[in-house]
Amino acid sequence: MSGKSDTVVLDKVLTQADFDAFAELSGDDNPIHVDPVFSAKTRFGRTVSHGMLLSTVLRGLLEQLVPGGRQLEQKLMFPSPTFAGDALRFSAIRKADDGRHVVAELNCERIDDGVITCAGETTLLRPEHR
């Protein structure tokens, strides 16, 4: 294992403007993400984040954990919604490292209530083994 940290954490608040910008960039303008009036009538009661927006933030943490690492596999679940304005704690935790591959646990947690909104695992190939 390298001398780098085994955990990278980022506290962040995603806003409706972030959801809107991601929708513009990705083309995913589903009203559950971008239309507060529509979303208010759903079971969520307000807009929810794109899952891939959360994944993108987590990918940034992986770059800090294993700079230049190539993501070989990723499994993500979204057990609870992430709402605009939620204070979030994103984390990438090194679980295994054989010198060639790094396995990391990924999480996004709502800080206010501790609910996990995104969880998973990924395998990275170290850049020197490409």
Q: Show pLDDT as tens, one digit a residue, over the chain (130 residues).
A: 344 679 999 999 999 999 999 999 999 999 999 999 999 999 999 999 999 999 999 999 999 999 999 999 999 999 999 999 999 999 999 999 999 999 999 999 999 999 999 999 999 999 999 8
The order of strands in the sheet holding 7-13 is: 7-13, 87-97, 101-110, 116-125, 70-77
Is domain 7-12+51-129 annotated with CATH 3.10.129.10?
Answer: yes
Roughly what angle, to the nearest 10 degrees, separates helices 16-26 and 51-65?
90
Question: Would you kindly state where each structural domain of the chain is located, as residue ranges?
Answer: 7-12+51-129
Is the separation of the CB atoms in 14 and 53 below 8 Å? yes
